[in-house]
Amino acid sequence: MYAQMVKSEGMKSREDMTPEEIAFQERIDRGEKIEPKEWMPEGYRKTLIRQIGQHAHSEIVGQLPEGNWITRAPTLERKAILLAKVQDEAGHGLYLYSAAETLGVSRDELLDALHAGKMKYSSIFNYPTLNWADIGAVGWLVDGAAIMNQVPLQRTSYGPYSRAMIRICKEESFHQRQGYDIMMKMAAGTPEQKEMAQDALNRFWYPALMMFGPSDKDSVHSAQSMAWKIKINTNDELRQKFVDQTVPQAHYLGLTVPDEGLKWNEEKGGWDFSEPDWSEFFAVIAGNGPCNTERLEARVTAWEDGAWFRDGLMAHAKKADARRAAARMAAE
């Protein structure tokens, strides 16, 4: 899940709603899509901007941990696949910034907020990719967790967001498969490769669980977002689904999930598992993860070093406009 702990508005009771708000809620309850030009409560708009913006930022910051291995990919085929995946992620960022723009916020404004540390991206991208199996683990676990969250979001109430999710989900399943494919090669490889695969799972397991955000009982923002269908499932529901899907895949690889408490629960028909260390999660969110500084610095540097490029293109567009206007004048 690329949007964690998105601050929503306090849940309003029916009696406190204006007639407009009631009509709006009824449209959502009927499963109608809300489109950009239509009336919406200010809180709905603001929450969506925060959520879509955070999601977009996650896609572009997410290029960095995987980009870290493009130049070292072990075969031409793996290099090509990884390039295609990272290109997709940048494309996802583009769709999502465009969806956010329909709510009246520009991409540049959102980027300024990211660069100033006022907006977040998913905690997961603050973890390093240290060996080649990490690229497998990112596709398998990180894209896997993202899919868990994004598939239901295809049904979200806001039209442009829903349509962006539909496009994105088509590509995400390829991302997860290529990740799992790397893990299969590594897990069935030399003893060193198998060790890398286990090491990757050990380091990415709990951070992947954290992607769904804190437990529902501690999650203050959920109720209103769920009523608005900006959030479809609770954090705990999604986390359970993810664990249930992933544990058999880990077993198939012959890898050990780093959780002594992992146990099949016949009664609930799912796995019991240990909670991640939430103090670590809050430390990462607060900026103290292993890579927070590098990730943000890389984005800020790219933006600042690229200022002359963007300015140059703007200046050229202005000159070209002026030349066209002058040609039109001369022709009249």
Task: Tell me which residues touch other proteins (CB under 8 A).
Answer: 60, 63-64, 67, 70-80, 83-84, 86-87, 90-91, 93-94, 97, 107, 132, 182, 185-186, 189-190, 192-193, 298, 301-303, 305-317, 319
Chain residues 119-178 in contact with Fe ion, contact rule CB under 5 A? 143, 172, 175
The one-letter code for the residue type at 24 is F
Query: Counting every residue, how long is the chain?
Result: 332
**Locate tokens 């590509």: which residue?**
171
Among 55, 92, 239, 299, binds Fe ion (CB under 5 A): 92
Query: Does position 66 bind Fe ion by CB under 5 A?
Result: no
- CA pair distance 148, 65, nearest whole angstrom: 21
Distant-in-sequence, close-in-space partners of 60: CB < 8 Å, separation ≥ 6: 89, 90, 93, 121, 299
Distant-in-sequence, close-in-space partners of 261: CB < 8 Å, separation ≥ 6: 272, 273, 274
Q: Choose the contact partner of 311 out of other proteins, Fe ion, none; CB within 5 to 8 A by kind.
A: other proteins
Give me the least distance between CB of 98 and Fe ion, in Å please.
Answer: 14
Give me the least distance between CB of 35 and other proteins, in Å please.
Answer: 25
Give me the least distance between CB of 314 and Fe ion, in Å please.
Answer: 29
**Signed CA dihedral, 53, 287, 138, 219: sign only:** negative
Q: Choose the contact partner of 74 out of Fe ion, other proteins, none; CB within 5 to 8 A by kind.
A: other proteins
Please, are residues 142 and 129 in contact by the beta-carbon 8 Å criterion? no
The one-letter code for the residue type at 192 is E
Q: Choose the contact partner of 189 out of other proteins, Fe ion, none; CB within 5 to 8 A by kind.
A: other proteins
State both tokens at 113.
């907020």
Q: Choose the contact partner of 173 out of other proteins, Fe ion, none; CB within 5 to 8 A by kind.
A: none
State both tokens at 294.
């590098």
Question: Which CB sits closer to Fe ion, 124 or 257?
Answer: 124
Binding window for Fe ion (CB under 5 A); candidates: 35-43, 59-67, 122-130, 296-304:
59-67
State both tokens at 299.
């984005």
Q: Is 249 helix (H, G, I), strand (E, B) or coil?
A: helix
Please, are residues 53 and 120 in contact by the beta-carbon 8 Å criterion? no
Listed residue (227, 255, 238) closest to 2, CA to CA = 238
Give me the least distance between CB of 239 and other proteins, in Å please.
Answer: 28
Question: Which CB sits closer to Fe ion, 82 or 296?
Answer: 82
Question: Which CB sits closer to other proteins, 18 or 301?
Answer: 301
Question: Which CB sits closer to other proteins, 17 or 83?
Answer: 83
Query: Does position 78 bind Fe ion by CB under 5 A?
Result: no
Binding residues for Fe ion, rule: CB under 5 A, are 59, 89, 92, 143, 172, 175
